[in-house]
Structure 1
Amino acid sequence: MGVGVRKESSVSIERRLRAFEVEHRDLDEIVARLSLQPDLDELLLKRLKRRKLLLKDQIALLRSSLIPNLDA
């Protein structure tokens, strides 16, 4: 096992995955609502979209870690 790499249980990974999915969905709704406002805060919108992309990457990473390694 590599330095700094820790083994996480699938239950823990699934819990984090669900939390990230909920946050991503919430941000999607917030971004949609903010986009409709006439006095749009562009900087806030950019930050929220960046956070959404980060969450999307984290979700993909966690999902891939749940797939068993078939190299045997």
Structure 2
Amino acid sequence: MAEQLSTPSYQVYTKGIDYPKSKQEVISHVRGNNAPDAVIRVMEAMEDQEFTSATDLARAFGEAKNRLEGRR
């Protein structure tokens, strides 16, 4: 990824989410909060699932970010 992106940095764009939410609902929410392309790219790479908490979302975001960066 060209942009450096720390896992917690996406949280500014997920503020106010009421769970549960689907992956697409989360992406719509962060787009509405003007998230940068790097955040949206990582979220699009997350597994399709329903997120029941911020912890679920953080785990999925971190896993997707690591996959995109070539880490396991």
Query: Which has more strand, going by share of residues?
Result: 2
Q: Fold conserved (TM > 0.5)? A: no
TM-score by length of 2: 0.29
TM-score by length of 1: 0.29
| Max Rg structure | 1
Query: Which has more helix, going by share of residues?
Result: 1
Which structure has more relative contact order (CA 8 Å, sep 6+)? It is 1
